[in-house]
Amino acid sequence: MSHYSDLISRLYWHLPVNLTALLAQTITDPDLMGQIEKSWRHFIQTGQVWALLIGLVIGYMIRNLTSYG
């Protein structure tokens, strides 16, 4: 385990400054449930849910046609 933590600490200190800033971003909108609801509404309104369902059905049918046994 010591080898693993040693490796992680070495990798961490060799990260560029931009990447460490990316890891330590500030959260501007902490309303997680609101963001999920907004994304779900967009997913439904744009019709992507139908593409998902059709893809699942077609994929299931192709899997059944190509499987042996």
18/31: higher pLDDT: 31
pLDDT exceeds 70 at position 13: no
pLDDT exceeds 90 at position 40: yes
- Domain that residue 38 falls in: 2-66
Query: Are the C-beta atoms of residues 31 and 39 closer than 8 Å to each other?
Result: no
Total count of domains within the chain: 1
Predicted model pTM: 0.52
| 3-state helix vs strand vs coil in the chain, percent to 5 | 75, 0, 25
User: Token pair 């200190």 is at which residue?
Assistant: 13
Q: pLDDT class for 49, splitting at 50, 70, 90?
A: very high
